[in-house]
Amino acid sequence: MKNTCLTLFLTGASLVATAQNKASTIDSLIHQSNRIGVFKGNVLVIDKGKVIYEAGIGYTDATEKQALTVDYRFHIGSIAKEFNAVGIMMLKEQGKLMLDDKVSKYLSGFPTWADKISIKNLLQYASGLPNLKWGELHSDAEAMAALKAFDKLDFEPGTQYAYNNSNTLLQRQIIEKITGQSFADFVTEKMLKPCGMNNSVVDPGEQTPMMTKSYNNYKLQSAMQYPITGWTAVTLDDFYKWEKALENFKLISPQSTREILTPFAPGKQCGLGGGTMDGDKLTYHQHDGTALNYQALLTAYPTRGRTIILLTNNKQNTLYDVDHAIEAILDGKPYQQPKKSILNDFARQLDSLKGYEIIPWYNKLKDKYAAEYGFDNESSLNMIGYYYKGKNRIDDAIAVFEYNTQLFPQSGNVFDSLADAYNAKGNKEKTLLNYKRSVALDPNNEMAKKIIEELEKK
């Protein structure tokens, strides 16, 4: 019995030491990232259901006089769209709407195309709604008027995918119409309060206390102005409460959760961003968001008790690098220190390059700035590839991703990205080939497994 107790004691002590070592390593990673200028913000790391690391490093605004603490709020960009997606499903479960209902059932004054778009189309960004000139709009009313001025859609609803905030606007407007509340009040009363998110705020203003302000590398602060309303700002702890509410189905059922995790097509986004479920369990959830110079990233593996949350008010396009490094540390693997983002500093040059010029330009840049930027890891080219994909330069994205697989042939992630680009091009054969390569290199890539399964059914 004494030997057993001693063994249990030593095992427990070893686990504590391991957690402490991981926390110390993560702390070194974050502080080094801050010193070289690639991360300013707040971090929360949960593993096996325990807080491993929580910290704020940086400043609350462009003056860089007031240090961040973990109690400050951040905008989370597109992740805030989760609140309208969950709100839609809450109303569905209450019998107040159906996903097949058309926009015209709830919102009037639109052209006849409103008779074609279903609420499900809005959730899946498959509505055909045009992307508005958001920089010229200053209110929900202006945005609604701009939408009503279009006499036709970009495509027939349910036939293509186009990620834009026109879908978000109409979701929020439908919620307001059904509930008779402002979207902000609905989110506050029906979601934030029930989840115990007492420090979160919908549509904070310049004078909102404990609210960070976003700014760029030239210390130019962005005005907190958005073309439409309904954006929730959160603290680290509140953000984690929201994730746990999703995992535990506090607000909506597993079936409803599955609805807003199921995209229009493999590899596309839906209401909750991206994720997977195994039966009635959420097994993976990831969502990123950008607004002004804010960026946010949440990565969760609920069955492993792991959640990583990164919030910044000084966008550097490095959150995925930081996340990957933290995950490697938690898994006891070697990690790569994030470096400056090529995309962040050279986007204008990327825009001017023709397809055949991209790789030679990249290699010349590598010769000149090898120590300063992240040429020694896959992320730099990966981000450039997604930058071109976001601009619908799919062939250029594929060329970049192909080159990345040559440089990092043992990385499952680079083959995943290449598969995603081929999927956007509509090349099923190469999409499947590269997703399978990704899974062979990274058996934990549950999203790729799900996409393979769905594609092989077709």
State in Å, rounded, how far the first CA of the chain is from the last one: 59
Q: Per-residue pLDDT averaged across 202-207, rounded?
A: 96
Asked if 421 and 392 count as a contact pair (C-beta separation under 8 A), the reply is no
pLDDT, the chain, mean: 93
The reported pLDDT for the residue numbered 9 is 47
Is the confidence at residue 328, as pLDDT, over 80? yes
Any idea where the domains of the chain sit in the sequence? Answer: 77-326, 340-457
Q: Per-residue pLDDT averaged across 322-338, rounded?
A: 94
- pLDDT confidence bin for 14, thresholds 50/70/90: very low
Q: Per-residue pLDDT averaged across 344-350, rounded?
A: 87
- pLDDT confidence bin for 418, thresholds 50/70/90: very high
CATH of domain 77-326: 3.40.710.10
The reported pLDDT for the residue numbered 2 is 43
- pLDDT confidence bin for 383, thresholds 50/70/90: confident
pTM over 0.85: no
The reported pLDDT for the residue numbered 268 is 85
CA 118 distance to own-chain centroid: 24
The reported pLDDT for the residue numbered 376 is 81
Is the confidence at residue 364, as pLDDT, over 90? yes
Tens digit of pLDDT for each residue in 52-70? 999 999 999 999 999 999 9
The reported pLDDT for the residue numbered 11 is 44
CATH architecture assignment, domain 340-457: Alpha Horseshoe (1.25)
Is the confidence at residue 196, as pLDDT, over 80? yes
- pLDDT confidence bin for 15, thresholds 50/70/90: very low
- pLDDT confidence bin for 372, thresholds 50/70/90: confident
Quote the CA–CA distance of 127 and 167 in Å, as a whole number: 7
Is the confidence at residue 34, as pLDDT, over 50? yes
Quote the CA–CA distance of 334 and 364 in Å, as a whole number: 28
- pLDDT confidence bin for 264, thresholds 50/70/90: confident
Q: Per-residue pLDDT averaged across 167-195, rounded?
A: 98
Is the confidence at residue 22, as pLDDT, over 80? yes
| Alpha-carbon separation of residue 402 from 415, 420, 434 (angstroms) | 8, 12, 10
List the single range of 59-63, 70-74, 247-251, 331-335 with lowest mean pLDDT: 331-335
Q: At what angle do helices 446-457 and 428-441 cross, to 10 degrees?
A: 150
The reported pLDDT for the residue numbered 1 is 41
